Amino acid sequence: MPAMDVKNRGIAMALLFILGLSSILPLCFSDANQPSLTKKPQPPTSNNRIGSSVVLRVQGNVYPLGYYSVSLNIGNPPKAYDLDIDSGSDLTWVQCDAPCKGCTKPKNQQYKPNKKNLVPCGDQLCAGVQSPGSHHCQSPNDQCDYEVEYADHGSSLGVLVRDYIPLRLTNGSVLGPLVAFGCGYDQAYSGPTSPPSTAGVLGLGNGKSSLLSQLTSRGLIRNVVGHCLSGRGGGFLFFGDHLVPSSGVSWTPILPGSSVKHYVSGPADLLFNAKPTSVKGLQVIFDSGSSYTYFNSQDYRAIVNTIVDDLKGKQLSRTTADPSLPVCWKGAKPFKSLGDVANLFKPLTLSFTRTKNVQLQLPPSSYLILTKYGNACLGILNGSEAGLGNLNIIGDTFLQDKMVIYDNEKKQIGWISANCDRLPES
């Protein structure tokens, strides 16, 4: 596996949301003192946009940090929490100021729950966050214990709380909706996952418990979320459809009824230098919570072999002396930028075959990492080795320098090349 300074937080796939939740009724909140915005969601028509969107600045990078995060204000008075953005899971949680296991933040940067803002386990939101088969809810007023397991075997356990999350809309209004989220008092990080440096996770999924669903169920924004992660670090995240370009976006359907909930698409074939490879028919999970891209063992091998074969005769040699990642190349001198080496590599393309001409273009800068040792390493890893079984996970390396849009109303994922360095004006 990648060495210790390489993080791949939250290759998140909450395993707990697979149960049939479709029968759960729309949420019913008693947040009378929030700014009154009780509009019902409008039917999705292209020129009928609900007021606005929320745009948040993103920090972080794939290497060396290993995550992208946003600073989210919670509470009244608000306190800022740095949260790993994760399109692979639903529930947002922050480290809890309670006897806390696996918490990495000092107490004053943890969220302090109180008796009054605990979500009771009779609440409709609670059913979706408890582990299957658990009998936590003895009486409807008990606290709601939640549990999230991530595909990389990390997990977070805690209680569901509800508090204000002030959000500035692009139309200038400021909202302070009461939102349910997790107060995590028991976090486990296993195997390759180093404890994250963030205070928690911002789940971008579309499950009932996600921030997105809670905002859209009250008609505040459209059920759309997206991110633009810069290869130079930073970027932005948005809730709502305000920033989605009206043309030029490549769209592919979100696969319904897949055993992995969340943003799965496919089938996709991998092209190398625009030519077919043996890697075909993949289902892929779009996961901003994973820094690297993971393929199942067989396809991983095929990709590595294809790239290695193509480099024969070029002035690059494999090196095993770089602990950053498993597959690395060095030059005569340490590389100063990926530009020094990118021209020796060919582009990859993920071609989504159900829809014509829908391709995710991956120039070498989208799959190579320049390490602190000046080597170029492959940002694609063996999923089996990371305990992911046969899952194929498209992580941040592949998603960089694109606006990636998860449209839950039209049930499609889209992307378009973008400059993610500048926060869009709002």
Ligand X SMILES: *[C@@H]1O[C@H](CO)[C@@H](O)[C@H](O)[C@H]1NC(C)=O
In whole angstroms, the minimum distance from the beta carbon of 208 to ligand X comes to: 21
Angstrom distance (rounded) from CA 160 to CA 340? 49
Residue among 374, 384, 411, 426 that touches ligand X (CB under 6 A) = 384
In whole angstroms, the minimum distance from the beta carbon of 225 to ligand X comes to 16
The amino acid at 208 = K
Asked if 172 touches ligand X (CB under 6 A), the answer is yes
- Residue with Cβ nearer ligand X (46 or 139): 46
Radius of gyration of the chain (CA): 21
Binding ligand X (rule: CB under 6 A), the pick from 171, 273, 315, 419 is 171
Counting every residue, how long is the chain? 426
Footprint (CB under 6 A) of ligand X, residues 228-247? none
Smallest distance, ligand X to C-beta of residue 142, A: 34
417 forms part of the interface with ligand X (CB under 6 A): no
- 38-67 residues near ligand X, rule: CB under 6 A: 50-52
CB of 167 to ligand X, least distance (A): 10
Residue 359 CB, nearest distance to ligand X (Å)?
25
3-state secondary structure at position 414:
strand
Question: Which residues ranging from 288 to 307 are in contact with ligand X (CB under 6 A)?
Answer: 297, 300-301
Q: Which of residues 1-40 bind ligand X (CB under 6 A)?
A: 37
Q: Minimum distance from CB of 335 to ligand X (Å)?
A: 25
Active site residue 31: no
Interface pick for ligand X out of 385, 409, 411, 424 (rule CB under 6 A): 385
Residues 179-218 that bind ligand X (CB under 6 A): none
Residue 44 has a CB neighbour count (10 Å cut-off) of 16
Chain-centroid distance, C-alpha 256: 19
Catalytic residue among 90, 145, 269, 287: 287
Rounded Cα–Cα distance for residues 252 and 392 (Å):
16
Query: Is the CA virtual torsion 143, 149, 153, 156 positive or negative?
Result: negative
What is the DSSP secondary structure assignment for residue 194, as one 8-state letter? P
Residue 66 CA, chain-centre distance (Å), reads 12
**141-159: b or e for each residue (b if 16 or more CB lie within 10 Å)?**
eebbbbbbbbbbbbbbbbb
Q: Does 152 qualify as catalytic in the annotation?
A: no
Nearer residue to ligand X within complex by CB, 141 or 171: 171
**271/277 Cα distance (integer angstroms):** 6
**Nearest CA to 332 among 319, 343, 322?**
319
* 335 sits near ligand X (criterion: CB under 6 A): no
Count the site residues for ligand X by CB under 6 A. Answer: 15
Classify 172 as helix, strand or coil. coil
Contacts to ligand X by CB under 6 A: 37, 50-52, 169, 171-173, 220, 297, 300-301, 382, 384-385
Tell me which residues are annotated as active site: 86, 287
